[in-house]
Amino acid sequence: MAPINADVVNGGKDSTPPKTTLPEVDTETNGNKRYSYETLVETANFLLSRTAVRPLIGVICGSGMGSYWNEGALAENIIDGQCIPYEEIPNFPTSTVEGHHGRLVFGHLNDIPVVAMQGRFHYYEGYPLWKCCLPVRVMKLLGVRTLIATNAAGGLNPNFKIGDLMIVKDHINMMGFAGNNPLHGPNDERFGPRFPPMNKAYNYEFRKIAKEVAKELNIQDIVREGVYTCLGGPNFETVAEINMLKMVGVDAVGMSTVHEVITARHCDMNVFGLSLITNECVTSYEHEAEANHEEVLDVGRMRQDILRKFVSKLVVKFAHTLTRDSP
């Protein structure tokens, strides 16, 4: 693939000139500068110069959920695996959270070209939401058409157990209710429209496929479906907060994903979301247990083999769906 030309709009699909040239807006946090389309093209071109892999599918690994992309598993699953640490990537933030390795892994998984983010960026790390989602736009510029966003989450649905996998059916953008949205600020039409719809955020066919794959792998008993929400973190929730979230129909709560999915849908990527239920959210003051990040990482380790099998199969099936849909 030749380097991306910044004038090519929306992955080459459309050549309408942008309505707004995105200024370098100073954001409210940490003096972070908003990046222009051209800056992200530079980042994408850097990556294209460092790997021969041209990914169709992008995976974001949740807390403690990325270990199956490590060397041992890579050798088993991925051909041409190549890791690029975030520190080496121009304009990329760096990972500061335990359980987030901080690198991109490029390779072929059963012949499907993929890129995995072994480590995501969170609002509570001090990054504004648009910066947390910068890699999603870079993936788009690399040619990624489908995003698989995974996360560790607390379970609110009383039927869920620790270690269950929840296919995300929908989300509630709590931070967005307060005006904090990754698309806040001037819109660059080369990525997508000013007012993107969000009622089909999580691809319906992918959700159906995931349920079929769960049956094939005989893990249907631990695979659920539900609504995810993201809070800003880094603290876990109070009892009153959990009870409120339950009332509004939330099944699982975390501190990520929602803004990544909004960014991906804005630039017309297909999305599949998967939450690993790592802890039970406490709904009563009598309950002794307290949520903690160690437990979250432990459950990720416990489910590593299942995640590897599930995500690998989904990558292949989703890629074939894309091929079938292509003109």
Ligand X SMILES: O=P(O)(O)O[C@H]1O[C@H](CO)[C@@H](O)[C@H]1O
Q: Under rule CB under 6 A, which residues in 12-41 are in contact with ligand X?
A: none
Q: Is 171 annotated as a binding residue?
A: no
Which residues between 141 and 180 bind ligand GUN (CB under 6 A)?
A: 152-154
Among 135, 279, 297, 311, the residue binding ligand GUN under the rule CB under 6 A is 279
User: Binding ligand GUN by CB under 6 A: which of 254, 265, 314, 315?
Assistant: 254
Query: Which residue is nearest to ligand GUN, using beta carbons?
Result: 154
Which CB, 104 or 319, lies closer to ligand X?
104
Query: Which option in ligand X, ligand GUN, none does residue 256 bind, with CB closer than 5 to 8 A by kind?
Result: ligand X
Binder among 114, 165, 223, 255 for ligand X (CB under 6 A): 255
Token pair, residue 266, equals 């804005």
57 vs 296, beta carbon nearer ligand GUN: 296
Query: 3-class secondary structure for the chain?
Result: CCCCCCCCEHHHCECCCCCCCCCCCECCCCCCECCCHHHHHHHHHHHHHHCCCCCCEEEECCCCCCHHHCHHHHHHHEEEEEEEEHHHCCCCCCCCCCCCCCEEEEEEECCEEEEEEECCCCHHHCCCHHHHCHHHHHHHHHCCCEEEEEEEEEECCCCCCCCCEEEEEEEECHHHHCCCCCCCCCCCCCCCCCCCCCCCCCCHHHHHHHHHHHHHCCCHHHEEEEEEEECCCCCCCCHHHHHHHHHCCCCEEECCCHHHHHHHHHCCCEEEEEEEEEEECCCCCCCCCCCCHHHHHHHHHHCHHHHHHHHHHHHHHHHHHHHHHCC
**Interaction partner, residue 62 (ligand GUN, ligand X, none; CB < 5-8 Å by kind):** ligand X
Annotated active-site residue 63? The verdict is yes
Report if residue 291 touches ligand GUN, rule: CB under 6 A.
yes
Q: Which of 125, 127, 201, 264 is catalytic?
A: 125
Catalytically annotated residue among 77, 100, 166, 214: 100
Mark the binding-site residues, compressed into ranges.
Answer: 63, 100, 120-122, 152, 237, 256, 279
List residues binding ligand X (CB under 6 A). Answer: 62-63, 97, 120, 122, 151-152, 233, 254-256, 293, 296
Mark the binding-site residues for a purine D-ribonucleoside, compressed into ranges.
Answer: 237, 279
Q: Which residues are catalytic?
A: 63, 100, 122, 124-125, 152, 255-256, 279, 293
List residues binding ligand GUN (CB under 6 A). Answer: 152-154, 231, 233, 236-237, 253-255, 278-279, 281, 291, 296
